[in-house]
Structure 1
Amino acid sequence: MEEYLISELKSVKRYIIYHSLFLQSQNLSDMLPHYKYLEKKITKEIFNPYNVSNFTDRRTSEKLNMRPLTFQQNFMNTTNLFNFNFSKYPFFIYLFGEIKNHYIDVIFLTRDSREILSIELRFKNFFITGFKLTDSEIYDSILDISLSYMELNDKLLTDVLIFPKLENLNILNSNIIFENNSLMFKENENIINFKIINSTVSKEKCFFRFLCAMINLESLNISSHRKFSIFDQEYNKICSFKFLKRIKYNVSYILTQTIPDFSSSYPIDEFTLGEDFPGGTLSKIFEPSIFNLLRILTLDRISIDKNDKLSLCKFKSMHTLTFISCKIKELNFYEFFNTQENYIIENLYLKKLSLRILDFYFIRKLKSLKRLSLSIFEPYYETYKILKEIFFMNYKNLILHLDALNTSSQMDFKYRFHEEFENDKFSLVIKNN
């Protein structure tokens, strides 16, 4: 493959060549004008007059005088050249291109430089009040949009929802200003993943209407250290999320003083909750039946107490459970569950969670366990004995990870494990904090 031909494609970051039984071979040099045409076409479309008129500086509100997109070339560091005999075998050539300036990054994938398969748009650090495209090929190829450190308004959000093939929408470290209280957003059937991280909205009810316009949403990630509360009984009357399967809700309770209500959603498959929520929160959130088929649960830096007893007992389908730096008072780990029932937990990660002997007895009953991560605070002989039983009962599958404090008793505990369990069949890691 002649390297100088690839070097002429200034925006190429990476390329992949697939052997195909259905395409005829072509000369790579024939692709050059087609690819250059696509580069120019994408650049011109992103900077059409309508878009340029809506790009302003975040601080001064003056129109941005953006320079043309520059091509970023770095393909030799990320690509292996395939040693094909191109005259003999048919092939596909997929080219990953990137054209960017200080504010906009456009990542695109082409096949044989004649077809745009996908486009990802990344905007950062400016104020945008509207964004539209007129070229149908580019318009229909945009699958991902990320907005970082941006000032946004409801007009821009309206434009975003119109993209017919958009699947992933991310808003990061941005401010959203809603100017029209009665604005109704057009429904979008293709966005399946929406993420808003550490961002603010001027009117939460308007934002919830925007969220509801993504009628086929499957994954929702709301993470913020700022005031952000949209899941309550009032908003639940507006719409329901029929296809939502994954929720990550990591919003500080200290700022909102509100326990979210997810009862308007349909059965959830994966759920993450954080942070600073008080004891009793789990019993309230998990009361609706939408969590009964939960498979993956992560609890991140929340408080738990005796009011949360049996709060996880209904999760018979759960295969992954993670606790991250949670504060538990007046409650043992095993008391989350009905000890008379069987659970199919395969992955159990209890980070910085103090366990008692009865907790280890419960863990021993988890017959499907494959990965177990624990923090050992009290290296009693009984703890060692039960862990030994757990390890050998699941010796064909279990990966065991232990965090231990660097004390003399803990080091004895560590060496005992290494001497007895370390061999080629098992994966045993003991880590000192």
Structure 2
Amino acid sequence: MATVSAPESIVARLAYVKAPTRDQIADNSQVVATVTAVLKDVRERGDAAVREYAKKFDGAELDRFEVSAVDRQRAVDELDVQTRSDTEFAIANVRRFAEAQLSTIQPLEIEPYPGLHLGHRVIPIQRVGAYVPGGRFPLLSAPIMTIVPGKVAGCDEVVACLPPNAHRAMIAGCHLSGADRIFLIGGAQAVAAMAYGTETVPQVHKIMGPGNAFVNEAKRQVFGPVGIDQLAGPSEIFVVADASGDPELIAADLLGQAEHDVRTRVGLITTDRALAEATLAEVERQLNVLATAKVAELSWRDYGEIVVCDDEAAMIAYSDHVAAEHLQVHTKDPHGFGAKLRNYGSLFIGRNASVVYSDKNVGTNHTLPTMGAAKYTGGLWVGSYVKIATHQWLEDKAIRVVAPPAIRQSDSEGLEGHRKAAEIRLRRLG
């Protein structure tokens, strides 16, 4: 297995109190082969193939994939009062934040030269697909994060797919979040159905949402004719902390994320060895009483790390190298320190800002870049559901300005058709 090491400029300034035993996901060649076959089959045979894979992978035999309006409402009615209230609280917060973000994306019109008009429009994507993972637990926030921003953005249609064996509350969550259509299709076959369309599932223009290794690989393979939000690997959380860090809080936050998956990457980056050692001991103590320790302990054993840095500069450099999905700042001046960081999916400033709040209901999106992708992109947001499409129009007087250099450039490039297209317009002006 290949490893991804810290840059040499940082290595000499690091000391591991706990080093990870694994640095990346194992070879997934079998996943690639399986997904390739599923995509080809669904593309060629549509619903029939989807139905067979539902039985093979999910043990579900369905006459129809789409959840009817009656069953959608029944799923909502089955929610207990508190769960429905909490779900609607989270939906309201995500919607409010998405609306605020959308208000910052403005159309543009400029006139750099008299008569030359340039601009762009903000155009909602017509139809998007939201993959809603099933998982070991019913993640009630998952449909909220992928469906609500699409409705706020103004997409004509948001199509949701979730595994046939997903908890009924997940159907309710899709309905309350505003999904236009809901299908009980999971895994790579769901991605294929949305990407290519079937007899019953409409073809979408972009697919959003995280999933397992098969979903991720399917998104990778269909990308091109259909868009995707990002490729999401196992979850990650890192905490950067100085001597003011609280080992009990840090350990609780690390394990809170580690219980997601045995491949979750969790870590502490600090300048204080005493904090590092205290956090190590605290993680072990909390694992002894954690109900989900069976998963969290494997994650901690294989992917957990605690790094002690020589100074603040090394801590910042190593954090930016990791580019964690979730990055918590536990320092004396968390706002000042946070402003120095640049590579993260979402930043949690101060000890009160636990990932759990963002995961569930504060309003920021929990679908975020992993595996170092935060070095070049942010997470899912309302802007993921719109296109910024440019336009231009010219008055006659602008042609006199732009045509001569365009003609000369086309001529130097040997592109006669380009040159003539510019010349004819200039000539008609006399």
Tell me whether the two structures share a fold, i.e. TM-score over 0.5. Answer: no
Q: TM-score, normalised by structure 1?
A: 0.25
Report the structure, 1 or 2, having the larger helix content: 2
Q: Which has the higher contact order (CA 8 A, sep 6+)?
A: 2
Higher strand share: 1
